[in-house]
Structure 1
Amino acid sequence: MAESFIFSIVESLIAKLASRAFQEASEALDVYDHLREFEKTLSLVKAVLLDAEQKQEHNHELQEWLRQLKSVFYDTEDVLDEFECQTLRKQVLKAHGTIKDEVSHFFSSSNPLVFRCKMAQKIKDVSKRLDKVAADRHKFGLRIIDVDTRVVHRRDMSRMTHSRVSDSDVIGREHDKEKIIELLMPQNPNDDDKSLSVIPIVGIGGMGKTTLAKFVFNDKRIDGCFTLKMWVCVSDDFDINQLIIKIINSVNVDDGPLRPQNLDMVDLEQLQNQLRSKLAGTKFLLVLDDVWNDDRVKWVELRNLIQVGGAAGSKILVTTRIDSIASMMGTVTSHKLQSLSPENSWSLFVKWAFKEGEEEKHPHLVNIGKEILNKCKGVPLAVRTLGSLLFSKFEANEWEHVRDNEIWNLPQNKDDILPALKLSYDFLPSYLRQCFALFSLYPKDYQFFSIEVARLWGALGLLASPRKNETSENVVKQYLDELLSRSFLQDFFDGGTFYRFKIHDLVHDLALPPNQSQKNDDLEHVHRWIIVKFEYHVRNTIPRILTVGNFDIMSELREKPFAL
């Protein structure tokens, strides 16, 4: 989705070029006129970018034009970063440098004369490239849209700030719940079968497998049937050690500690002993959510470790998208999760698109809404996402725009629901799309905390300046509330001073660029951006801490950019 937040990049570049610090620096380096011309061209391109973003899906030439712009803009960011770093270096020398430092600086590549020539040439180069690409904007018949007018409407967050699923939040899954509970409950009170029963729930992404598993997991009948309940999200990596650690920590959390144990340095034998100790003589229910592993050897190894020590009647509930995995793991026939009925789809849609009873005041939207639902194919995530998108919008043309959007006509894979999610993504303001896209830097099922998200967004300059009586934390809270209101976040917990959340796998995929090569280019740019800024700031202030013995901190940061 890199092309979809170019508008935000341009806004950032223009704001930086217009700042007093850059004007002073450009005058001092005698490149003021070059930068002013560059800024004018940027403004011309910015005027048509929002229209280009909306039309790119159906025009490969336009997509290529946006990619060329993105390349110029990224190189421009690098040039402006050099400006910032040079300014910082001068400030550090002025405040802390000695005569020796100043002489060394004069004879280095940072010498003002050398730097001015180098920067002037770089600015000329990116200016020529931008002029050449910008000239092609007339070929596409783009409209001028100077301001991103898309806004996100707030909604009541109170019902969404917990990961436990209440009965009122689940629609159309009562029959599925009863079928799963029937399989989990003892078939015969005198049954002493010690074999471990594994019950798979299988369905396409977004169908509500995890929601159904939580629906079952939180039922009071299950509490009465099992002494111990454990929940583990497996996701892409089926690492035996890590899964055992997750299971142990799931038991620990149930026992009450605030923080799970750090068991990463414990060997497998010790982990197995801990696991046996936790499960010894206990009738347990273990949920393995979102399984992708199709290696039967790994599964059998894990199953054998789990079933040693557990009491008769212990069960494992598995959720997966893949039939063959469900068949490999299951000891009973898989429970295939089907699409919602039209009636249940409408009930779910109404729950997210309107406040309670509000739909009765807008009968003109009912038929349009039902036509939109036909495109969602009964997939709860798609229904909920589009309902959130239309929340507090009561003009028929807004609903018709969603219904008639050309994105529905794009080629789709079987059971693909990404068009519904992509449509909601496209309606986000550009500043929010750029923030959201950075979630793709993290692995699936990553548990985010608002504090680290604030650091990442802040480091990349993506946060708006706080208004009067506001802080940057208020801005981050607003951004996350807006994403939550679109159903892009899940398992959301409001801790008062912090937020904790995850994003759905399909939403994570939505944050990724369209192809792997582009993804690598974009992520490498972001990593390089963070590291270069950090390196310049640290090297020019406290260089002595960067190397301790043979340990180079910057090498570590380059290998593990998330350590920042």
Structure 2
Amino acid sequence: MDDLASSLASSLLKKLGSLVYQELYLAWGVQSDLHKLESTISILKIVLLDAEDKQANNPMLSIWLGRLKNILYVAEDVVDELEYEALRKQAITTYGSAMAKVCHFFCSFMALSSRLKLAHKIKDIRERLDEINADKVQFNLTERHEEVHVNPLREKTHSFIDPSTVFGRDGDKEEIKKSLMHPNPTRNLNIIAIVGLGGMGKTTLAKVVYNDESVVKHFQLRMWVCVPENFNVTRLVKDILKSAGGSVDKNSSNEDTLQTSLRELLKDKRFLLVLDDVWNENRNKWTELRDLLNGGSHGSVIVVTTRSHRVSSVLDPVYTHSVEGLSKEESLSLFVKCAFKEGEDKLYPNLLPIADEIVKKCKGVPLALKSLGGLLYSKVDESEWELGRGNEIWELEENEGGILPALQLSYNQMPIHLKRCFAYCVNFPKEYDFSNILLIEQWVAHGLIIQMSPNKKQELEDIGELYIKELMLICFFQLDLQENLFGMYSFKMHDLVHDLVLSIGHEEWSEIDSDNKDMASTVRHLSISSSSQQVSKFSNKLTNVRSIMYRNEPHVSSVEACISRFKSLRLLTIPYSDFENLPSSIGTQKHLRYLGLSLNQSIKKLPNSICKLHNLQTLLLDGCRDLERLPKDMRNMINLRFLTISTKDTCLFVNGECCFNSLQILWVVECPRLECLLPQMDRCLTNLRMLVFLECESLTSLPPIIKHLKALESLYICDCEEIDLTGGGGGDAQDLNLRLQILYITNLPKLEILPEWLLGSANTLKHLHIEQCENLKALPEWLPTLKSLQTLEIIECNELSSLPEGIRHTKTLRKLVIIPEL
């Protein structure tokens, strides 16, 4: 993942140049050294984009980038140490006791040794960077300030196909033919998009349709153009003319002449044009080309193949066909044809069970089947086939026409910030169910999410959502159709996309299990599914581990070993553990941003030292049913953005003022004894955007603070049997000026009417879901006055007999679900 060094450098420069950091550097007496460091990184950064493009063909350059990235990580740790000290000072100043403030005063005099150590670290970093900077001369790198996507030249496609090489796709062909032969009568020119992952067979499917006998008879003119990555309209017009057999003067670039020739060619003809492998997302360019092609007869069709749903949306197609994998039988037939000479498979029946396992690995992707089948062609030694079955695809492929180079093209097109986020997914196993919220918070913990515009303030979580949607648009993430609840939805990564991410990130990720023999020193992300002895075996070799994910139920000694050894951790997840006490040494993890302790049903208390984690942004305690109470100094965790809590306590956050004004998301789940939250506290949770109460059976009312939560967008209240929603607002409801967009309530037996304070969100509430509220008898007459309401769902509220007059005619309402019907 050395192609990410430029992004790391950019992130570091942003911190070094921040005014907030400048004051910090001045206070610590390291401003001059860090300015010099910033200057050296800036000089290096302007050649990094060129270096990243050239490294694939230059092993020495790749090593040079690796050295640079190693030292940039060390520099990032130093800057983060300073940030930690600033947060510690802020916490003590805001919440510290008199004794704590006195201790801090004396510690500031004793910090000279720490400052000297810091200055020595910075000097060492500068010297190493100067050496790396001097070495760059040998690579003849070019200065570049903008990212340019450089892909190797793609082989041009053609329209010819041998029908005997096509397996399956009959159903796909008929679906597309239906839209071809019976186009939208309101359009003169119809567009059909064929969308799918690289290697899925989009071009093959287009060829099958293009050469179908009935299609050939239906269209008076057929043309096939392989579209270059640079979507140049003039060049495309020339290619279309050539495909149609028209003459094009090689020396002519007169656009009027070319356009006249194209209009004459298409005039009064019903034509079919296939544009294969389109990457263009610029609607203006597409509109320019489409307008030039509008001169054909009614019923003309353009078929576009693309990997991106974003490209498809730009086209405004009458029909979009998503290409899925082949069936198991079709896959096996294709693989056998590619791996054996004709009829030879019957001579080696011992190889067919292995073939079946290899086919499973390919997940129905035709290019993968052809690639691995081609690798084994004419090989009949069982051991070679076993190698194909036992290894990952990224370890096997060598040919340029294989599936991974095909997927690599999509990866190469990504902006650098998206490459880093995608590469991070190497941490997760195949078939993993991703959660949008948890993945985004992990990206945030590693500093992978970048503010897109300095002038437009966006929350990091919102930017992360955009990243996920981008990866879905190019089919790298595949949405699971499960319900979106509490703002969460799940998605998966195709197995071959996982092979791609392994090929990109295998040097930085490793799993410690019982089979480990060796581990590269470049590893920064660890998955652990073995004993503490195995962890100790490799820990001395690893110097800069950033994340640890436990896949098993670890012994507390293993966790202690990791906390003791790895001091640069940004993320630590220990789900399903069974120890009663988290090691107090957790407080030494200055850099930790994400701590996951979900579903530990034995843990009884957290050490107060956890409150020293001033950098911590995500703390997951959901499912920790035996947790007696939260630590008393939790208010010192002033950087928290996402907090989930399960506890046996009766009241949360009672230890004095506890603002949590960085908190964006708060889940209070499985707290059967909880009676109150944030008692008598104003001006807290000012940035809270999502609040969830789930299975809090003793909670009787929402906290009075709700009237101050002006940033709150989503409120979920589920299975809280004693809660009464009518309190909490106070004053004139319409004057509350809340921003609630989603209210989701289910199984609230005491709910008889909707609360008046909901009127405070009259201009913003979009989605209202009410389910299993057995005593809800009527909806308020003011409900139709909600000016933004788009979705109203009322399910199994059996006492409800009617809806407010006019609700069905609310202009903004898009979806109304009433079960059972009234």
The TM-score normalised by the length of structure 2 is 0.37
SS of the residue aligned with 1:533?
coil
SS of the residue aligned with 2:429?
coil
SS of the residue aligned with 2:48?
helix
Contact 2:198 2:407 in 1 (8 A): no
Give the equivalent residue in structure 2 for 1:446.
432
Contact 1:513 1:519 in 2 (8 A): no
CA distance in 1 between counterparts of 2:313 and 2:630 reads 51
SS of the residue aligned with 1:445?
coil
CA distance in 2 between counterparts of 1:175 and 1:502 reads 27
Give the equivalent residue in structure 2 for 1:190.
none
Name the CA shift for 1:11/1:117 in 2 (closer, same or farther; >3 Å): same
SS of the residue aligned with 2:570?
helix
Deviation, structure 1 residue 515: 7.0
Name the CA shift for 1:91/1:386 in 2 (closer, same or farther; >3 Å): closer
Matching of residues 130-169 of structure 1 within 5 Å:
130-148=129-147
Give the equivalent residue in structure 1 for 2:34.
35
Deviates more, 1:454-463 or 1:29-38: 454-463
Give the equivalent residue in structure 1 for 2:500.
510
CA distance in 1 between counterparts of 2:68 and 2:507 reads 17
SS of the residue aligned with 1:438?
helix
Contact 2:476 2:497 in 1 (8 A): yes
Contact 1:431 1:462 in 2 (8 A): yes
Deviation, structure 1 residue 364: 4.4
Deviation, structure 1 residue 432: 0.9
SS of the residue aligned with 1:501?
strand
Task: After superposition, give the CA deviation of every residue in 1:322-371 in whole Å (9 maximum; x if it has no partner).
Answer: xxxxxxxxxxxxxxxxx947814989xx99989xxx99994546799999
CA distance in 2 between counterparts of 1:110 and 1:58 reads 53
Are residues 1:475 and 2:463 paired?
Answer: yes
Contact 2:227 2:275 in 1 (8 A): no
CA distance in 1 between counterparts of 2:205 and 2:451 reads 46
Give the equivalent residue in structure 2 for 1:78.
77
CA distance in 2 between counterparts of 1:504 and 1:416 reads 16
Which residue, 406, 419, 423 being the options, matches 2:409?
423
Name the CA shift for 1:110/1:342 in 2 (closer, same or farther; >3 Å): farther
CA distance in 1 between counterparts of 2:109 and 2:479 reads 49
- AA of the residue aligned to 1:539: K
Matching of residues 399-548 of structure 1 within 5 Å:
412-413=398-399, 416-465=402-451, 468=456, 470-491=458-479, 495=484, 499-512=489-502, 514=504, 516-520=506-510, 521-524=523-526, 525-527=545-547, 528-531=569-572, 532-534=591-593, 538-539=611-612
Name the CA shift for 1:87/1:146 in 2 (closer, same or farther; >3 Å): same
Give the equivalent residue in structure 2 for 1:69.
68
CA distance in 2 between counterparts of 1:439 and 1:43 reads 29
Deviation, structure 1 residue 89: 1.4
Name the CA shift for 1:365/1:37 in 2 (closer, same or farther; >3 Å): farther
Which residue, 162, 168, 175 being the options, matches 1:173?
168
Contact 1:26 1:32 in 2 (8 A): yes
CA distance in 2 between counterparts of 1:32 and 1:542 reads 22
CA distance in 2 between counterparts of 1:542 and 1:150 reads 35
Deviates more, 1:359-368 or 1:138-147: 359-368
Larger radius of gyration: 2
Name the one with the larger strand percent.
2
Contact 2:71 2:129 in 1 (8 A): yes
CA distance in 1 between counterparts of 2:615 and 2:77 reads 23
Deviation, structure 1 residue 94: 2.0
SS of the residue aligned with 1:490?
strand
**Unpaired segments of 5 or more residues in structure 1?**
152-170, 179-204, 212-338, 374-382, 394-409, 554-562
Name the CA shift for 1:173/1:491 in 2 (closer, same or farther; >3 Å): farther
Name the one with the larger helix percent.
1
Name the CA shift for 1:149/1:55 in 2 (closer, same or farther; >3 Å): closer
Give the equivalent residue in structure 2 for 1:54.
53
Deviation, structure 1 residue 41: 0.7
Matching of residues 162-561 of structure 1 within 5 Å:
173-175=168-170, 340=204, 343-344=207-208, 362-364=236-238, 385=307, 412-413=398-399, 416-465=402-451, 468=456, 470-491=458-479, 495=484, 499-512=489-502, 514=504, 516-520=506-510, 521-524=523-526, 525-527=545-547, 528-531=569-572, 532-534=591-593, 538-539=611-612
Contact 1:440 1:509 in 2 (8 A): no
Deviation, structure 1 residue 461: 2.5
The TM-score normalised by the length of structure 1 is 0.52
Contact 1:353 1:389 in 2 (8 A): no
- AA of the residue aligned to 2:491: F
**Unpaired segments of 5 or more residues in structure 2?**
151-165, 174-196, 212-223, 244-272, 278-304, 316-395, 511-522, 527-544, 548-568, 573-590, 596-608, 632-642, 645-822
Task: After superposition, give the CA deviation of every residue in 1:35-73 in whole Å (9 maximum; x if it has no partner).
Answer: 001001111111011111111100000000000011001
- AA of the residue aligned to 2:524: D
CA distance in 2 between counterparts of 1:95 and 1:551 reads 23
CA distance in 1 between counterparts of 2:420 and 2:4 reads 5
Give the equivalent residue in structure 2 for 1:166.
none
SS of the residue aligned with 2:146?
coil
CA distance in 1 between counterparts of 2:199 and 2:171 reads 12
Contact 1:353 1:390 in 2 (8 A): no
Deviation, structure 1 residue 99: 4.9
Name the CA shift for 1:88/1:351 in 2 (closer, same or farther; >3 Å): farther
Deviates more, 1:522-531 or 1:11-20: 522-531
How many residue pairs align between the two structures? 351
Name the CA shift for 1:345/1:437 in 2 (closer, same or farther; >3 Å): farther
Contact 1:45 1:134 in 2 (8 A): yes
Task: After superposition, give the CA deviation of every residue in 1:535-563 in whole Å (9 maximum; x if it has no partner).
Answer: 898325699x999999999xxxxxxxxx9
- AA of the residue aligned to 1:530: L
Give the equivalent residue in structure 2 for 1:5.
4
Task: After superposition, give the CA deviation of every residue in 1:158-208 in whole Å (9 maximum; x if it has no partner).
Answer: xxxxxxxxxxxxx97344899xxxxxxxxxxxxxxxxxxxxxxxxxx9765
Name the CA shift for 1:530/1:414 in 2 (closer, same or farther; >3 Å): same
Contact 1:150 1:427 in 2 (8 A): yes
Deviates more, 1:384-393 or 1:131-140: 384-393
Deviation, structure 1 residue 415: 7.3
CA distance in 2 between counterparts of 1:49 and 1:106 reads 44
CA distance in 1 between counterparts of 2:48 and 2:489 reads 33
